[in-house]
Structures are given as structure tokens and as C-alpha cells.
Chains A and B, each alone.
Chain A
Amino acid sequence: MLLPPIPSPDPLLLPLPPVALKALLLVTFTLHLMAVNLGVGGSLIMAVHAWRGKPEDRDLVRRLAPLLPAAVTFAITLGIAPLLFVQLTYGPFFYTASVLTAVPWLALIFLLMAGYGLLYRFVGSAAAPAIHATSGILGSLLLLSVGLMLVNVTTLSLRPDLWAAHAAASPHGLRMNTADPTLWPRYLHMVAGIAAVAGLLLAGWGAWRRHAYARRVGLLWFIVATASQAAWGTWLLVRQPDPVFGLLMNTTTAPSLMMWISITCGGLALFMAIPASQAGAPAKAVWAPFGLGLAAVLGMILLRDQARDASLAAFGFHPEALPHKTDWLSLGVFGLTLVGLVVLLIVILRWATQPAPSAPAAE
């Protein structure tokens, strides 16, 4: 059999040590994912409640939906950075996968714009409630389909052994990575995760703002979505290719440890969320499942990275061994810009949260 056609890496040196790039990748990806949880998961939840349409639902939507477009803006902005760092380190795999499934990958942009546009309509619309809710539901489904395009490329990038057959079957890049058994479980695992974390964030907001209904439905979303992970997570696990599956089943390895810690955190969060969601439960009962749930997500992000490197190691790729030469000058400029940004954000957020001047502003 032919060796998998892995393109040769680019000859230019990395500007930072690979571990630093990996750290940047993981940090920016985590931020991106949190914004996605808030913006996309939040859109789904708000749209469903708008559709349900009881007075308490409408109150929730009225108060929280206006935050969604900004959250999606941040999700996009924060998504660009990990996209950059992935290309930098995993370029030969990432680009190959995206070209092989070019049309779905390109469709991502149009799905994103359409979903985003509908979301603005949902938030700003004075239309009849049914149309209003429909644009919200459609918009959040479109935004969730963006995630499918990302999972599609990501899964294909991890399977160089599937590339040649994929390329032969799909010379114009029309086909999705459906030959890979992890595609659907991985996607559903992700969607459930997004809904669960969005629910947690909603519950946290409800506890903070003394909004009992938000607290309760937020926890309910979290409970249902997390319980469904028993199906998606297990399905994803058993469909992993051999080297990764073996690694995860061998409890002495770091990825396996990470997986069990995350599952434990998620399970504990689930069991603590159930009593906390009951009618008479105190608001502060939210915080334990909140913390444990987020810990589970962080663990899963690390696990995701370890599983990726394990998959690619099977094809002889070791990101930590890529040659580099630290570009101190650029790092300095980056650091200064970062300081500038942080100062800017502190100042303008203080302005944004100062009490409004008592005299009404000129309108």
C-alpha cells in the first residue's frame, strides 16, 4: 500500500517554540469555544423559549436575546486566532483536509452569514411571534451547521489514511468526510456540549441576577444535554481509530486520565444539578455544578488536543519537534499591543458600566 500522501512541511521556521504555539492555540480555542457556547448555544436556547412563548419565557428572551449578536461576533473574532495557529502547526493536515472537502468548507461562510443575519432579525424583530421564533430557530440551526463544517474538516485532517480514497471519490471536493465513523458522534457530542454549557451559563446568570426561572431552565438544559452525552460520548469513544482507542482504554496514559477526570466532573455536575434545579433549591446550589461542568469542558479541550497529537503521531508527525527560531521583536510588539488592548478594554468597560447620567441624553 502507498504511504499516506502527507505534504511536506513549509521550510520557514516557526516564530515561537512549538509549546508556546500550542499554549496559544489552546487558550484562544478555549476562549472561542466559550463565546460559541454563549452565542450559538444561547441562540438555540433563546429561540426555543421564544417559540414556547409563555410570559416567563418571553421575559427571558427580552432580557437576554439582545446580547447574542455581540457574543457571536466575539465567537467569530476569537475563532480566527485558533484557526491561524492550527494552520501554523498542523498545516499539512489541515489544508489537505480542507481542499479535499472544499465545497462544504467554503459553504461555512455562507452558513455563517445567513445564520448571523437571521439572528439579528430574531433579536431586533417586531414581527409576529411565530415568525420571530422561526427566524431564531433557523438562525441557530444554521450557526450549528457551521460547527458541522468545522468538525468535517477536523476529523478528515486526522485521518491521512482516508485521504487517497476520499480524493479519488471526490475530485472536485464536494464530498463530506462521511467515510469516517467519528464524524457524526463527534458533531453530536459537540452540539450537546454547546447546549449544556449554554444552559450552565444561563443558570449562572439566573443565580447571579436572582432570576429563579433562568436558573431552573438553565439547569434543565444542562441536565438533558449532559445526560445525552452518555450516548454521544460513548459512540464517539468506540468509533475512535485503534491507536487512540487503545490509548484511552489504557488507564495509565495521560489522555485516558484526562478523559476519566472530565467524565467524573461532568457526571458529578449532572448529579448535583438535579437537586439544584428543583423549585425550592437555594440559588447558590448552582455554583457547584457550574464549576464542575466548566472543569469538564476544560478537560475535554485538553483531551481533544492529546487525542489529535496521538492520532497524528501514528503517521509520524510530532508538532513538538518542529524547528523554530524565536522572533523576539515581533513578540515584543505583540506584547505591547496586548497591553494596549487590555488597558483599552478596562477603560471602555468601566465607561460602559458607569451609572447613566441623570439628565436624559440628547436623542
Chain B
Amino acid sequence: MNHPVWDLPLLGSGWIIGIISIIHVSIAHLVVGAGIWLAIMEGRAQRAADGDLQAWLRSRAKALLWLSSIFGAATGVGIWVAIGLVNPTATQHLIRAFVMGWAIEWLIFAGEMATLIVLVRAYDRLKPRQRLVLYWLYAFCAWLSLVVINGIITFMLSPGKGWTASHAMWDGFFNATYLPSLLLRTFVALALGGLWGLAAGGSSNPTLKSRILKPTALFTLAGVLLAAASGWYYFQSFPPAARELVLGNLKGATSLAQGFRWALWGLGAFLVPGLLVLWAFFAPQTFRRPVALLGLLLACWGFGGFEWIREVARKPFVIRDVMYSNGIRVEQVAGYLKDGFLPQNAWARTFAASKGDTDLAKGEALLRSQCLACHTRDGYRSLKALTASNSEGDNVAFIQALRELDPALNPYLDRMPPFAGTEQEAELLGKYLGSLKAK
């Protein structure tokens, strides 16, 4: 890490991103799907001259405004805050590469909020036709913001050779996983938005209920099935190394397998709402809100599982083949191996100096800069536990092995970055690792 490290004991800072982004990503996709759902429903209601349904949809638009302005926008800021704290070096790199993309996204988001606010607040002034146009404009803007952000997310998994050579934004934007991911995310959005509609419709009055639930159930079902199909297509588009990493984990190659099981159960759980909606379709009068909320929860779990696998597929990089999770760029490694990490990293030096520049302090500084992105000392993926049975010599030998760039000599390269420092620095870090045992 080029910047100081936020040392969050036990949990590790990565979890902060995990928690905030699960909430944000679920809401962000939900509002896209809900926007499309609202527009379709309003069109149906207007064609059927169904005033009750239109009034009900108006209340849904209001709820959507509430959801996207309080939680959507605030957790969006939250993601910025979190990624900047957990991996400032990578965040800065991404911002440099994609600031114009984010600027475009921002214009679109402003349009999204403006259309929804006008729809909700000026509803009574609008002609029916204008209302329908606004519903569709909102849906379109919300989806467009997915179109933009998708380019940046997929870039991190598959930046592509073109970008590495040119550093031109659009080369990175339209990368190998762009289209499959866009399809997948669009369909997931439909499923989440539909479930949200079912949850609201489940407690509407009996005369409206079946008029709401029947079309909404079909909408949701389409989302679930299409998402499953495009999920497969998406996985096929992974870079080969990423695919191998995922498959290897499926076979239980590492202790990531536990997390993987949760993620896989989640993928299964994503399909369950597909069954639940049949209830809403065939017996709308007996359908209740909690069923839809359960479906929504399962779908979010499934989606979270998917996002987790996508993150793992990127390991040990934060931007595949460009930057490791600890903020060290691939091209920097040779220089650090040869001339040392401490002399070239102001914050690691500052940390060591604050603890008296002892050997242990230097070792700890190296650990903070290069290891805490994925490990903690004695909590999540604890280094103390992972090295419990090692002697000090084992630890030093282990770090020396991590310096190797040849996968034949360093079997950890598929999940850990190489240690980027000199032999002496490897010894300092190995000794510090050994000292964890005494603490």
C-alpha cells in the first residue's frame, strides 16, 4: 500500500466493503428493476383505465424515491468512503482510469433522481401520457447508470491487454466480461425489483391484489430464469485463470472452500424465489408479503454469493494482472525485490519509525503494507493461526518462498501476491510473524 493502512483488528477492513456493498448493490439493482416494473405496470394500468392501480403505483414510486434517495445515494457515498479507506491505492488508480466514466454516471444519476422527484411531487399536474413517459425515463436512466458502472466493475476482473497497453478508458470499459455481466445484472435487477413489487402487492387490498400480483409474478419469474441463464454465460466469459481459481475452490483446494459453500448455497437460494412466485401467480389471494420478503432475502443472498465469487475470482489482484490486493502494481514488484520495499514506501517507513525502527517494527510495517489487505493478526484469516505450527525458520523460509515469481517455486501465487521486498526484508517479516505467537 502506497498510503497508510487502516488496521482494523479481528475483522479486517475488507469486511466493511463487503457489508456496505451488499446493501448498496442490492438496493442499486433493485431500483433498476423496480423502475422497469413500475413503467410496465403503469402502461398496463393506463391501457385498462385502472385508476386504482395507478394510484397504488404512485405510492410505489414514492417508496422508491425514499429507498433510492436515503439508502441508495447514501450507501453509494458509503462505497466511496469504504473503498478509499480499505484500498486507497487501488481507489486512486481506478479514479484516475475512470473518472470520466464516473462523471458520466453522475450526470445520469442526477437525471434519475430528477425524473423520480418530478414524478412524485408534481404527479397531479402531469397528464397521464407524461406520467408514463416519466416512469420510462426513470427506468431508462436507472438502467443506464448500470450500463456505465458495469464497465468499471468488469474492468477489475478482466482489464484486458488493450487497456494495459493504451491506458485508454474505453479500452478497459468494453472488456471481455462487459456484456455477459450487463445481461446478468439487468436480469438480477428484474428479479429483485419484481420481488419488491410482490412484497408491496402482497399487502394491498383484495380487489387490487390479483391485478398486481399476476403480472408481477411473471416479471419476477422472467428475471430469475434469465439471470440463471446469463450467469452461466458470464462464468464462461471469465479469464481462464479466474475460472480455474473458482473451479479449484469448488473442489476444496483451499480453506476458502467454506466461504464458497455459502456462496454456492446462495446461488441455489436465488432460484427459490422462482418457485415462490408461482404461488403469487396461481393463488394471489392467499399470497402474503412475508413470502415475498423471504424471496427477496434469498435472492439477495444469492446475488451476494455471486458478488463474492466474482471478488474471489480476481484474487490475488484487485485489478487482475495490473494491481495486487495490497495496492502493489505488478510492474513495481521487480524494483521492490531488488532495491527493497521500505526505502521506497514512505508510510511503511513512518510506521517503523514510530515504533523505534527496531527489526520487529520494520517487520510489522511490512506486514501492514503487504499482508493486512487479506489477513488479520488474530481474527479473520489470522496470521497467528496460519503460522501457529511454524518455527521462526519456517516463517522466514515461507516468506523467502513468497518472493519467487515462478508458480513452480511459489505455489501461493494463485491466491497471494508475491512478497515484494529484499531477502533481508523477508527475514524481518518472517521474524515478526514468529513474534505473533508470543502475543
Interface residues, chain A, with chain B CB atoms under 8 Å away: 2-3, 5-8, 10-15, 24, 69-70, 73-74, 76-81, 83-85, 87-88, 91-92, 94-96, 98-100, 102, 105-106, 108-109, 112-113, 116-117, 120, 163-164, 167-168, 171-173, 327, 329-331, 333-334, 337-338, 340-341, 344-345, 348-349, 351-357, 361-363
The 8 A CB mask of B82-126 against A (1 = contact, 0 = none) is: 101100110111011101111110111111011101100111111
Given the known interface contacts A81-B106, A164-B353, A172-B7, the answer about A109 and B81 at a Cβ–Cβ threshold of 8 Å is yes
Which residues does chain A contribute within 8 Å of B236, judged by CB atoms?
Answer: none
Size band of the B side of the interface? 35 or more
Q: How far is the CA of A186 from the CA of B146 in the complex (A)?
A: 38
Given the known interface contacts A109-B77, A351-B122, the answer about A164 and B110 at a Cβ–Cβ threshold of 8 Å is no
Which residues does chain A contribute within 8 Å of B334, judged by CB atoms?
Answer: none
Q: Is the CB of A106 within 8 A of B16?
A: yes
A111 CB to nearest chain B CB (Å):
10
> A-B pairs with CB below 8 Å: how many?
216
**Which residue of B5, B95, B124, B169 contacts A91 across the interface (Cβ within 8 Å)?**
B95
Q: Is the CB of B3 within 8 A of A95?
A: yes
B63 CB to nearest chain A CB (Å):
12
**Which residue of B55, B125, B168 contacts A363 across the interface (Cβ within 8 Å)?**
B55
Q: Is the CB of B169 within 8 A of A344?
A: no
A79 CB to nearest chain B CB (Å):
7
Q: Is the CB of B113 within 8 A of A80?
A: no
**A70, A80, A108, A348: which has the most chain B beta carbons within 10 Å?**
A348
Q: Is the CB of B81 within 8 A of A106?
A: yes
Q: Is the CB of A348 within 8 A of B115?
A: yes
**B7, B103, B126: which has the most chain A beta carbons within 10 Å?**
B103
Q: How far is the CA of A164 from the CA of B353 in the complex (A)?
A: 9
Given the known interface contacts A7-B347, A352-B118, the answer about A96 and B107 at a Cβ–Cβ threshold of 8 Å is no
Which residues does chain A contribute within 8 Å of B125, judged by CB atoms?
Answer: 351-357
B170 within 8 A of A: yes
Which residues does chain A contribute within 8 Å of B123, judged by CB atoms?
Answer: 361
Which residues does chain A contribute within 8 Å of B118, judged by CB atoms?
Answer: 348-349, 351-352
Which residues does chain B contribute within 8 Å of A5, judged by CB atoms?
Answer: 4, 346-347, 349-350
B282 within 8 A of A: no
**Which residue of A6, A14, A329, A333 contacts B346 across the interface (Cβ within 8 Å)?**
A6
Q: Is the CB of B91 within 8 A of A95?
A: yes
Q: Is the CB of B85 within 8 A of A77?
A: no
Known: A15-B169, A80-B80, A88-B95. 9 other contacts (CB 8 A): A2-B350, A73-B69, A84-B102, A105-B81, A109-B75, A116-B70, A344-B111, A351-B126, A362-B54
Q: Is the CB of B111 within 8 A of A334?
A: no
Given the known interface contacts A83-B80, A116-B74, A120-B70, the answer about A77 and B110 at a Cβ–Cβ threshold of 8 Å is yes
The 8 A CB mask of B323-358 against A (1 = contact, 0 = none) is: 000000100000000000000001101110110000
Q: Is the CB of B70 within 8 A of A98?
A: no
Q: Is the CB of B69 within 8 A of A173?
A: no
Q: How far is the CA of A109 from the CA of B77 in the complex (A)?
A: 7
Which residues does chain A contribute within 8 Å of B3, judged by CB atoms?
Answer: 7, 92, 95-96, 99
Q: How far is the CA of A83 from the CA of B122 in the complex (A)?
A: 31
B6 within 8 A of A: yes
Q: Is the CB of B91 within 8 A of A87?
A: yes
**Which residue of B20, B80, B104, B114 contacts A348 across the interface (Cβ within 8 Å)?**
B114
Q: Is the CB of B100 within 8 A of A348?
A: no
Which residues does chain A contribute within 8 Å of B113, judged by CB atoms?
Answer: 73-74, 77
Q: How far is the CA of A117 from the CA of B73 in the complex (A)?
A: 13
